[in-house]
Amino acid sequence: MTSAGMTGAGIRRSFLEYFESQGHRIAPSSSLVPIEDPTLLFTNAGMNQFKDLFLGREKRDYKRATTSQKCMRVSGKHNDLDNVGPSHRHHTFFEMLGNFSFGDYFKEDAIRFAWTVLTDVWGLPKDRLRASIFAGDATTPRDDDAFAIWKGILGDASRIDEFGAADNFWQMGETGPCGRCSEIFYDRRGMDHVPADDQLIEVWNNVFMEFNRLDGGVLEPLPARSIDTGMGLERITAVIQGKTSNYDTDLFQPILSAIGDLAGVRYAGGDTPAEVSMRVVADHLRATTFLISDGVIPSNEWRGYVLRKIMRRAMRHGKRLGLREPFLHQLVDVVVGEFGGAYTDLAGSKAAVVNVVKGEEERFDAVLTAGLPRLEELLDRAAASKERTLAGEDVFRLYDSLGVPVDFIEDLASERQLSLDRAGYERAMDGQRERARAGSTFDQKKAAGFTFTSDATRAALEQTPDRFVGYDTTAVDDASVVAIFDAGRAQVEALTAGATGFAVTDRTPFYLEAGGQVSDSGTVEGAAGQATIDGVVRVVPGGPRAHRISIVSGQIATGSTVRLAVDAARRDAIRRNHTATHLLHAALREVLGPHVKQAGSLVAPDRLRFDFVQPSAIPAEAIARVERIVNDRVLENTAVTTEIKPTADAMAAGAMALFGEKYGDTVRVVSVPGFSLELCGGTHVRATGDIGLFAITAESGVAAGVRRVEAVTGTGAYEQFSTQQRGYTELLHALGADAAQAKAAVERLQSDVKRLTRELQDAKVKAAMGGGTGTASGGDDRIALNGAALIARRADGLDRAGLRTLADSLKDKLGSGVVVLASEADGKVSLVVSVTKDLIGKVQAGQVVKQIAPIVGGGGGGRPDFAEAGGKDPGRIADLLRESRVVVERMLGTAGG
């Protein structure tokens, strides 16, 4: 097969196989959700999962790795969202091919590996390849080594470009691993049909990781020089297949064909509005499928908000293609079919992804149904204005309150030749972002960093390994305190009685919150003082644990030896709930089906909470079955086993990955043999019988397509059942019935209540028919109005059903007229207006309500002959009734007569 005939899957496979042949370990792609790295919204580069290896915090049994990494770039400087569609090579989701060296080979080998792959493995013409190097600046010298290596390969210095830090110095963020880099370009100048801005295309970036950037911009050498490379699969596939557009490759064509089949259009690779929309849908569908498969659920917060945004952008472009019904969920199968071979977890997630996507599509349709009437009002108002412009603040309110996307609003506005005040909208949006940022967990985490007495102490702590010994013990007698921080997270030498802060030790039995399991609590005690521990955090991502302490007596100081003791009873309660969560997960899959996929969890000492993908509420009988299955497993008292395995082996054995966990090259596998097999770093009971008892306390919905089950175990479950039993016994005593008679007794009481309520309502209506409630301030007599009559009456004590009945009776007596009734109950106003049929050509009940309901702070509407409303200001009922006469007179044409 020539290189031009290679498929995208073949290119991915040949890349990984080549580097495997060169001593690299093929590492599985990490999740799109970065665990324990609050600086990242999504995984955006292949090196993210190896960050701790570059920093020397983590050790693995290999020094070379290669990956095909799932990536998302939708925020910060890597935000390609708005370019997707108009552009032929921008994406939100993409795959990054990479090879990595952790203190092993460096520049010369990295460059020669890249050259071999491009020219020998893939057969690209050598004369069309160029390179770039770092030109040097005031802080970092020119990369003479890279220049010399490339000159030896290319033989022509004119094919080596030199650029500054913006292009040839790479860093993850404001701090962290970084270094000079060398990019490789494919030169398409002189080729037919290549756009001018696509003639020189970057295909591969080789980063020479030499430094760690500290706060303040200081560069320090890394413990060992390393290599980090990245190459977008979509872009290199287009080059190899001779395409000028990524979307013309086989990575996208099956998806575009499926979209075309649904919409009745054909994708020809152009820039028509339909083809732009098809590119948007294809890209966003890939991103949606992979994000949901990795546990992200559409919501109004952080990662879920980004997912919802791209999903709704795809839905909006689907509507542009004429797809009026939910369609995205029908296309998930195409993505899974194309990528399931490389990312095996996709197949197991397919049903869950379909359910979530369908639920979000139905939710979006409901948003549009609710928002369109409001939007039509805004459009009518703008059309009648001199400026013919939608106010930005109004558009923002429509988006903020009902979720109608601004792009959708702009589309409809343009159809009517109206403009939108984008500047005003952005100002309102910026205000919301500021408010959200103030309470954002993401930004709080970024802001909650520890500060150090010097760069040297920071570097030393970053190199300190995280030694957790809590699987084997709940106490360590001789831990060394390596650092102390005060309540503001500033490093100090010691904390004294009454103070709070953080203590870092060389090892610890205290569990750090992860995978839904909360942190341990307990005590720390040294020769000079003692303190309580109420939580655990990381000093730096991937670094050692800091215990949150409150000094009870004396002091805890750096360098001292202390005893750390976990609250064993609390740990036991947490362990019961964590193992029960695994049993619950397996039972839900057994009862509801394999589409059940975890979407979040909480494992606390007093309860557990499990969120999972499920399209609808769970019937009571299914909940009972799940509860019974878990308790059956508890009664079997099966031993719970844990073992460390290579991640790939564990996944191949069918182990379930839990949302919120971080998985490295090897994983801890927790098993209840024959029933549950999960990757998990949490603490668990020795045998299922230790759980004691399991009780489900609630089942509810938390998002579109996501349900939540809450439960208790052990003592909590006993108290749950005991409380229910006491309540049941007291209920039977109050009913004067035994268990067999209880249901019939309750039904009899319910029937009596309904009958008595109806009789009371009828009596109230009859009393009101006799002339009202005696509240004449609003005027409840019959008023003659130009051949018709008006009754405007206050009728307290009647609910809306009673008001409707009274209005019908009064209208029948009038013959020709209007009835306005208002009632107060629990501080709120109910209002009905009824009009005889002969008058609805002049007086419409809905219009009357619209004009008088605001007087009592309410609103409503209805048919021409009958309308109703609510209000919240009963103190103005009399004003409302007086105004009703003015409104009706005006409609009858008798005002002032």
For the segment 474-516, what is each residue's pLDDT rounded down to a tens digit? 999 999 999 999 999 999 999 999 999 999 999 999 999 988 8
Q: How far, in Å, CA of 575 to CA of 691, rounded?
A: 8
Can you give the pLDDT at residue 551?
Answer: 97
DSSP string, 78-97: EE-GGGBTTBSS--SEEEEE
Residue 85 and residue 279 in contact, taking contact as beta carbons nearer than 8 Å: yes
With 0-12 CB in 10 A as exposed, 13-18 as middle and 19+ as buried, what is 80?
A: middle
CB count, 10 Å around CB of 46?
A: 27
Residue 578 and residue 601 in contact, taking contact as beta carbons nearer than 8 Å: no
**Quick check: 895 pLDDT over 50?**
no
DSSP-derived secondary structure letter, 361: H
Q: Residue 731: which H helix or E strand, with range?
A: helix 714-735
Which range, of 83-97, 164-178, 262-276, 373-387, averages the lowest pLDDT?
164-178
Kindly report the backbone phi and psi dihedral angles of residue 663, in degrees, each rounded to the nearest multiple of 5, phi listed first. Answer: -115, 130
Can you give the pLDDT at residue 545?
Answer: 93
DSSP-derived secondary structure letter, 705: T
Closest CA to 711 of 692, 693, 724, 698: 698
Can you give the pLDDT at residue 505?
Answer: 96
Residue 602 and residue 519 in contact, taking contact as beta carbons nearer than 8 Å: no
Can you give the pLDDT at residue 149?
Answer: 97
Can you give the pLDDT at residue 853?
Answer: 92
Can you give the pLDDT at residue 376?
Answer: 85
Can you give the pLDDT at residue 517?
Answer: 93
Q: Which two tokens stand for residue 706?
A: 């996501």
Can you give the pLDDT at residue 574?
Answer: 97
Can you give the pLDDT at residue 409?
Answer: 86
pLDDT bin (cut points 50, 70, 90) of residue 638 is very high
Q: Residue 650: which H helix or E strand, with range?
A: helix 647-652
Is pLDDT larger for residue 26 or for residue 174? 26
Q: How far, in Å, CA of 323 to CA of 319, rounded?
A: 5
Can you give the pLDDT at residue 77?
Answer: 54
**Quick check: 616 pLDDT over 90?**
no
CB count, 10 Å around CB of 167?
A: 16
Across residues 513-535, what is the average pLDDT?
A: 94
Across residues 619-638, what is the average pLDDT?
A: 96
**Quick check: 155 pLDDT over 80?**
yes
**Quick check: 184 pLDDT over 50?**
yes
Can you give the pLDDT at residue 775?
Answer: 39
Can you give the pLDDT at residue 76?
Answer: 54
pLDDT bin (cut points 50, 70, 90) of residue 446 is very low
Can you give the pLDDT at residue 19?
Answer: 98
| Residue recorded with tokens 């049993």 | 583
Can you give the pLDDT at residue 444?
Answer: 42
Distance set, CA 214 to CA 173, 449, 452 (Å): 11, 13, 11
Q: Residue 828: which H helix or E strand, with range?
A: strand 828-835
Can you give the pLDDT at residue 491?
Answer: 95
Can you give the pLDDT at residue 759?
Answer: 82
Can you give the pLDDT at residue 705?
Answer: 77
The three-state DSSP-derived secondary structure of 147-158 is: HHHHHHHHCCHH
Closest CA to 143 of 116, 121, 170: 170
Residue 84 and residue 90 in contact, taking contact as beta carbons nearer than 8 Å: yes
pLDDT bin (cut points 50, 70, 90) of residue 39 is low
For CA atoms 236, 242, 243, 249, give the dihedral sign. Answer: negative
Distance set, CA 558 to CA 115, 491, 663 (Å): 52, 10, 32
Is pLDDT larger for residue 253 or for residue 720? 253
Q: Residue 109: which H helix or E strand, with range?
A: helix 107-116
614: left (phi over 0), alpha (psi -120 to 50) or beta: beta
Torsion of CA 344, 349, 354, 355, to 10 degrees: 180
Residue 34 and residue 348 in contact, taking contact as beta carbons nearer than 8 Å: no
Can you give the pLDDT at residue 367?
Answer: 82
Across residues 766-776, what is the average pLDDT?
A: 56
**Quick check: 126 pLDDT over 90?**
yes
pLDDT bin (cut points 50, 70, 90) of residue 776 is very low
pLDDT bin (cut points 50, 70, 90) of residue 634 is very high
Can you give the pLDDT at residue 495?
Answer: 96
Q: Which two tokens stand for residue 489?
A: 């997270």
Q: Which two tokens stand for residue 456?
A: 């040297």
Can you give the pLDDT at residue 150?
Answer: 97
For the segment 318-328, what is each residue's pLDDT rounded down to a tens digit? 999 999 899 99
Can you give the pLDDT at residue 20?
Answer: 97
Q: Which two tokens stand for residue 649?
A: 């082996």
For the segment 48-94, what is each residue's pLDDT rounded down to a tens digit? 888 878 777 777 889 999 999 999 988 655 556 778 888 888 899 99
Across residues 33-53, what is the average pLDDT?
A: 79
pLDDT bin (cut points 50, 70, 90) of residue 772 is very low
DSSP-derived secondary structure letter, 226: E
Q: Which two tokens stand for residue 171?
A: 């860093």
pLDDT bin (cut points 50, 70, 90) of residue 663 is low
Which range, of 346-350, 355-359, 398-402, 748-752, averages the lowest pLDDT?
398-402
Can you give the pLDDT at residue 546?
Answer: 95
Query: Which residues, 6+ apart, have CB-to-CB distance to 546 below 8 Å?
Result: 450, 483, 485, 502, 503, 504, 536, 537, 538, 539
Question: How many Å separate Cα 514 from the centre of its chain?
Answer: 17
Closest CA to 453 of 401, 502, 492: 492
Can you give the pLDDT at residue 348?
Answer: 81
Residue 761 and residue 861 in contact, taking contact as beta carbons nearer than 8 Å: no
Percent of the residues in the chain that have a pLDDT greater than 70, as a whole number: 94
Q: Which two tokens stand for residue 153?
A: 């390969």
Mean pLDDT, the chain, whole residue set: 88
Q: How far, in Å, CA of 407 to CA of 317, rounded?
A: 10
Can you give the pLDDT at residue 440?
Answer: 46
pLDDT bin (cut points 50, 70, 90) of residue 276 is very high
Residue 548 and residue 564 in contact, taking contact as beta carbons nearer than 8 Å: no
As a residue count, the chain comes to 897
DSSP-derived secondary structure letter, 121: I
Residue 610 and residue 708 in contact, taking contact as beta carbons nearer than 8 Å: yes
For the segment 332-366, what is each residue's pLDDT rounded down to a tens digit? 999 999 999 999 888 888 988 998 899 889 888 88
Distance set, CA 489 to CA 218, 431, 617, 626, 705 (Å): 21, 30, 45, 45, 40
Q: State the number of CA atoms in the 13 A half-sphere of 191 facing the CB.
A: 18
**Quick check: 442 pLDDT over 50?**
no
Can you give the pLDDT at residue 160?
Answer: 96
Neighbour order of strands in the sheet with 817-825: 782-785, 788-794, 817-825, 828-835, 866-871, 859-862
Which range, of 377-391, 447-461, 551-565, averages the lowest pLDDT?
447-461
Which range, of 60-69, 166-175, 374-383, 656-665, averages the lowest pLDDT?
656-665
Integer-rounded Cα radius of gyration of the chain: 34
Which range, of 92-101, 573-582, 755-764, averages the lowest pLDDT?
755-764
Across residues 810-834, what is the average pLDDT?
A: 90
